Amino acid sequence: MKVPRLLTIVLSLSLFGATGAFASSMWGDYEGFAKIKMLVNDVEKPFADNETPAFIIKGNSVFPVRMLSESLQTLVRWDNGSKTISVFKPNVHMFVAEKVNDDYSVKSPFGKVPKGKKIDFAVFAQIDSLKTPFYSFKISIDSPSGEQVAAHEKVVNGEKENFWYPWPFNVSFGETGEYVIKFSVKLDEGGDYTVVSKKVIVSE
- Give me the pLDDT at residue 28, please: 82
Based on the domain organization, do 99 and 153 belong to the same domain?
yes
pTM for this prediction: 0.77
> Which residues sit opposite 160 in a β-bridge?
none
Q: What is the pLDDT of residue 126?
A: 94
Q: Are strands 193-203 and 112-113 parallel, antiparallel or unpaired?
A: parallel
Same domain, 103 and 196: yes
Residue 22's pLDDT is: 46
Do 63 and 161 fall within a single domain?
no
Residue 82 lies in a domain: no
**Residue 145, domain CATH:** 2.60.40.2550
Assigned domain for 190 exists: yes
Residue 86 domain-assigned?
Answer: no
Are 58 and 153 contained in the same domain? no
Whole-number pLDDT of residue 3: 46
Residue 100: what pLDDT?
Answer: 67
Residues 34 and 97 in one domain: no
* Regions in the chain scoring below 50 on pLDDT: 1-22
Count CB-CB contacts under 10 A for residue 146. 7
The last residue of a domain, from among 76, 107, 130: 76
Considering its fold, how many domains does the chain have in total? 2
Residues 96 and 59 in one domain: no
Q: For residues 179 and 110, state if they share a domain.
A: yes
- Domain assignment of residue 51, given as a range: 5-76
Q: Are 69 and 108 within one domain?
A: no
Check residue 24 and give its pLDDT: 63
Q: What is residue 5's predicted lDDT score, i.e. its pLDDT?
A: 41
Residues present in the chain in total:
204
Q: Do both 124 and 100 map to the same domain?
A: yes
Per-residue pLDDT, 13:
43
Based on the domain organization, do 69 and 114 belong to the same domain? no
Cα–Cα dist 12/59, whole Å: 10
* Residues 122 and 182 placed together within one structural domain of the fold: yes
**Three-state secondary-structure class, residue 9:** strand
**Nearest-angstrom CA–CA distance, 164 and 78:** 27
Q: Does 135 fall in a domain?
A: yes
Dump pLDDT digits (tens) for 44-98.
888 888 888 888 888 888 888 877 787 789 998 888 889 898 989 999 999 999 8
Within-domain flag for 185: yes
Does some domain include residue 55? yes
pLDDT at 36 (0 to 100)? 86
Q: What are the backbone dihedrals phi and psi of residue 67, each rounded to the nearest 5 degrees, phi first?
A: -65, -45
